[in-house]
Structures are given as C-alpha cells and as structure tokens.
C-alpha cells in the first residue's frame, strides 16, 4: 500500500515567521512557534495504523485527524479535546503518540495554558528525545514562563539537530537578550539574518547594537603565557591573524611545545561556527594517528561561552600532514575557542615527541599542573571604553 503524506502548516506565529520575512510587531511572548510544520497522514493513515496496531479503532484514529483539522482552523480548545480522545484510546504507536502529545501541547500553548503545554511536550520528548521541533516548542514554553536559561538550553539542543531553523535561532537570540547576554543574542540575530530573516524588530535590534558597539564596546583578549615562551612566528592577512610561541631555544620548525593564538574574521555569521571549527581541527589531528584518545576536560566558566577539546595521538603518519606542522610521531593538542559576531578567537596548546608516548602529558602532570591552568587563563572579554 502506498502512503501519502500531507503537510499541515501550524501557523506558528501571530505574525508568521518564514524564510523570507518575519512579521512586524511581535514580542517574545508572541513567538510561540517558529517556522514549524508537522507531517500527518491523510485518510490512509487510519487504515495503515489499524493494520500496524491490531487493537486500534478507526474512530480513535480519526480523533487525531480531527484534532489536526481543528488546529488548522485555529479552534485550539476543540483540537485539545480531539487529541485527548485520541491519546486516551491507547491505540497509538509510539511515533504517532509523540506527534499527538506534541500537537496537543502546541494547542494548549495557543490557549496560554503553558503548564499543560509543558507536560505534553515533556511526554513527547520522553518518546522522541531528539526531535528538533518539540525541543524548540518547549524552549518557547520556558521563555513564556520567564525561564530563559531553560529556554536557551532547549533552543540550543534544537539547533544542534536543525541548525538552519531561522525561527529557533531568532527565539534563542531573544532569550539571550532577556538574560542580558547581548553578544550571544547578536550572534543569533545575525545568523537568522544570514538565513533570510528580515523581521523588522530584529533588524532594529541589530542596528541598535551595531551603533552601540561602534561607539563604546570592544573585545579584549587575555592569556597568561608562560615566561619561557617567546614569539617565533606571526602571520596576518585579510582573513586571519596567527601568533605562535615556543619555549626559548625552539623554533617553528623544531619544537616540542607550541602555543598558538589565532583570530579568524568572519565574512558573515554562521550558527555555532566556532564549535564546528574546533571539531574539524581535532578531527584533522586525529585522522593520521595510529591510535588516539579524546579527553573530556572542563574549564572554568567564562562570560562569553567557550568551546573546549583535547586529543592524544600516537603513531602519527607524518606523510599525511603538511610539512613542518608535526615532525614527531606522538602528540597532544588542546583547543579553546570563542565566537563573537565577527570573529573566532582560538587558543591552542600543542606537544609532540618521538620517544615519549602522548600519555606522558597526563602521567607527568603536565596536563593538570601546566596546560589546564594555562588554558583557564585564556579569555575573550567584552568591555566598554
């Protein structure tokens, strides 16, 4: 039997957010769902689920379809009634039960019954914990309740699964703004703009913050380098600036330890680009290793959130790496980076040796006593003149 899918838009916003335009006049409370649609089976769904679930009744399944139709007609109270009947039947498979809970939660949200909405969205996520739409919807419920930290957490989880969702990026920016985390809000607003949003309130915010930044604000890089390290190389062009430091007596072509500070200028903002950049660097380091280990290291919290990663590598195939980058067979890399609206700041520590295995970094105390304290001092601070 062929199965047809019908897409029912949820009319998520009072002023609908879509790829081309974000309607004017919406507040944070208005932004209840962003760029969201749900796939629900047509009339053939009844027959198909009935076959899949022997105890199902067509009448029960019709209640879900009626609930969707009522939702589309903006009859949210009636929609919750039908979805309740559908859920209560106990005849839904897990996938469609999650959809029913999600849709009833959204219908509750439309009626400003946020606690009811939250309960249903939690039920949906218990069944499908990695559903971007449900996470984004629960994030909005948290935002309406004024729990902006929780909202940011859910929006971020949603964006991990679907980084191209304009509305979720914008909603997270609004929650960041409500928390006073302006720089992170600007990143999300710029990312939404880059994906096509032209919502006037967002554009006004970007203009306001750009004007304030040009007049009053700047970023300051701080890092307490060891006294025995000296600058051995500097490279600067239109896109990036790199400073490399080694212990005295070592060079950029013959080093055992190296500390690097890099600043990459962004032509346009991309969501979570710093994290993507870090993961790509670590993956590139691991690829030519005969064996490697990813270390889980937690550093002190910073005002502007950072990304952190570290890898031990043994048996490095030097023929697979650019000349002079690594000249010895065992190595270690530790990266910490920060993302601002226009820059990625990268702080990097590297170690390499031929005789000693990479585990020496841990066993000798170098990691705990020297490297972690060093990386804890690496910071990017947003300051006013």
Residues 207 and 250 in one domain: no
Q: Residue 322: its pLDDT value, please?
A: 67
0.85 exceeded by the pTM?
no
Residues 200 and 261 in one domain: no
pLDDT of 25 above 60: no
Residues 346 and 233 in one domain: yes
For the record, the structure tokens of 15 come out as 């002023």
Residues 200 and 253 in one domain: no
**Please, what is the angle between helix 114-127 and helix 94-110, to 10°?**
160
* First and final C-alpha spacing in the chain: 68
Q: How many CB atoms lie within 10 A of CB 59?
A: 12
Residues 205 and 232 in one domain: no
Task: Return the percent helix, strand and coil in the chain, to nearest 5.
Answer: 45, 20, 35
Q: Are 135 and 102 in contact (CB under 8 A)?
A: no
Q: Which of 1-15, 26-40, 46-60, 68-82 has the lowest mean pLDDT?
A: 1-15
CA angle at 293 for the pair 358 and 274, rounded to the nearest 5°:
105
Residues 244 and 341 in one domain: yes
Residues 148 and 170 in one domain: yes
**pLDDT band at residue 269 using 50, 70 and 90 as cut-offs:** low
Q: How far apart are CA 46 and CA 363, in angstroms?
A: 63
Residues 136 and 250 in one domain: no
CATH number at residue 201: 1.25.40.10
**pLDDT band at residue 384 using 50, 70 and 90 as cut-offs:** low
Adjacent-strand bridge partners of 380? 221
Q: Residue 120: its pLDDT value, please?
A: 96
Picking from 163, 184, 215, the residue at the C-terminal end of a domain is 215
Residues 317 and 251 in one domain: yes
DSSP string of 316-356, one letter each residue = --GGGS-TTT--SSEEEEEEEEEE-SSEEEEEEEEEEESSS
CATH number at residue 335: 3.40.1000.10
Residues 105-151 pLDDT 10s: 999 999 999 999 999 999 999 999 999 999 999 999 999 999 999 99
Report the pLDDT averaged over residues 257-272.
85
Residues 168-185 pLDDT 10s: 999 999 999 999 888 889
Q: How far apart are CA 341 and CA 268, in angstroms?
A: 8
**pLDDT band at residue 18 using 50, 70 and 90 as cut-offs:** very low
Residues 197 and 246 in one domain: no
Q: Residue 95: its pLDDT value, please?
A: 87
Q: How far apart are CA 366 and CA 101, in angstroms?
A: 52
Residue range of the domain that includes 84: 5-215
Residues 76 and 104 in one domain: yes
Higher pLDDT, 367 or 219: 367
Q: How far apart are CA 226 and CA 246, in angstroms?
A: 10
Give me the number of domains the chain comprises: 2
Overall size of the chain counted in residues? 385
Residues 293-349 pLDDT 10s: 999 999 998 888 899 999 999 998 877 776 557 888 999 999 999 988 778 999 999
Residues 30 and 115 in one domain: yes
pLDDT of 50 above 70: no
Picking from 156, 189, 215, the residue at the C-terminal end of a domain is 215
Picking from 215, 242, 271, the residue at the C-terminal end of a domain is 215
For the record, the structure tokens of 271 come out as 């969501």
For the record, the structure tokens of 292 come out as 């490697």
Residues 214-232 pLDDT 10s: 544 577 888 999 889 999 9
Q: Residue 21: its pLDDT value, please?
A: 32
Q: Which of 9-13, 187-191, 280-284, 289-293 has the lowest mean pLDDT?
A: 9-13
pLDDT of 351 above 60: yes
Q: Which of 27-31, 241-245, 325-329, 352-356 has the lowest mean pLDDT?
A: 27-31
């Amino acid at each position: 039997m062929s199965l047809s899918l019908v897409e029912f838009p949820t009319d998520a916003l009072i002023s609908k957010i879509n790829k081309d335009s974000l309607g004017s006049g919406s507040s944070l409370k208005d932004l209840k769902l962003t760029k969201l649609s749900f796939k629900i089976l047509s009339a053939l769904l009844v027959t198909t689920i009935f076959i899949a679930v022997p105890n199902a009744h067509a009448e029960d399944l019709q209640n879900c379809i009626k609930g969707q139709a009522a939702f589309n007609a903006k009859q949210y109270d009636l929609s919750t009634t039908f979805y309740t009947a559908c859920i209560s039947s106990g005849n839904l498979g897990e996938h469609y039960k999650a959809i029913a809970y999600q849709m009833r939660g959204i219908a509750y949200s439309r009626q400003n019954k946020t606690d009811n909405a939250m309960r249903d969205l939690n039920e949906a996520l218990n069944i499908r914990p990695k559903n971007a739409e449900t996470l984004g919807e629960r994030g909005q419920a948290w935002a309406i309740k004024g729990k902006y930290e929780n909202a940011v957490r859910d929006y971020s989880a949603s964006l991990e699964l679907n980084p191209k969702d304009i509305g979720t990026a914008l909603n997270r920016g609004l929650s960041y703004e409500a928390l006073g985390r302006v720089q992170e809000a600007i990143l999300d607003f710029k990312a939404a703009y880059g994906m096509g949003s032209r919502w006037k309130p967002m554009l006004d915010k970007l203009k306001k913050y750009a004007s304030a930044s040009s007049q009053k604000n700047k970023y300051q890089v701080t890092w307490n380098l060891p006294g025995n390290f000296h600058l051995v190389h500097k490279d600067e062009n239109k896109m990036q600036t790199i400073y490399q430091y080694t212990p005295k007596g070592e060079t950029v072509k013959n080093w055992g330890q190296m500390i690097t500070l890099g600043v990459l200028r962004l032509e346009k903002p991309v969501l979570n680009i710093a994290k993507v950049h870090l993961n790509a660097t670590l993956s590139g380091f691991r690829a030519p290793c005969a064996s490697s280990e990813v270390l889980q290291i937690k550093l002190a919290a910073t005002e502007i959130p950072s990304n952190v990663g570290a890898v031990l590598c043994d048996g490095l195939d030097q023929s697979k790496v650019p000349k002079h980058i690594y000249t010895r067979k065992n190595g270690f890399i530790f990266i910490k980076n920060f993302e601002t609206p226009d820059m990625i700041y990268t702080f990097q520590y590297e170690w390499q040796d031929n005789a000693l295995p990479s585990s020496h970094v841990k066993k000798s105390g170098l990691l705990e006593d020297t490297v972690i304290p060093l990386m804890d001092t690496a910071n990017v601070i947003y300051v006013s003149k």
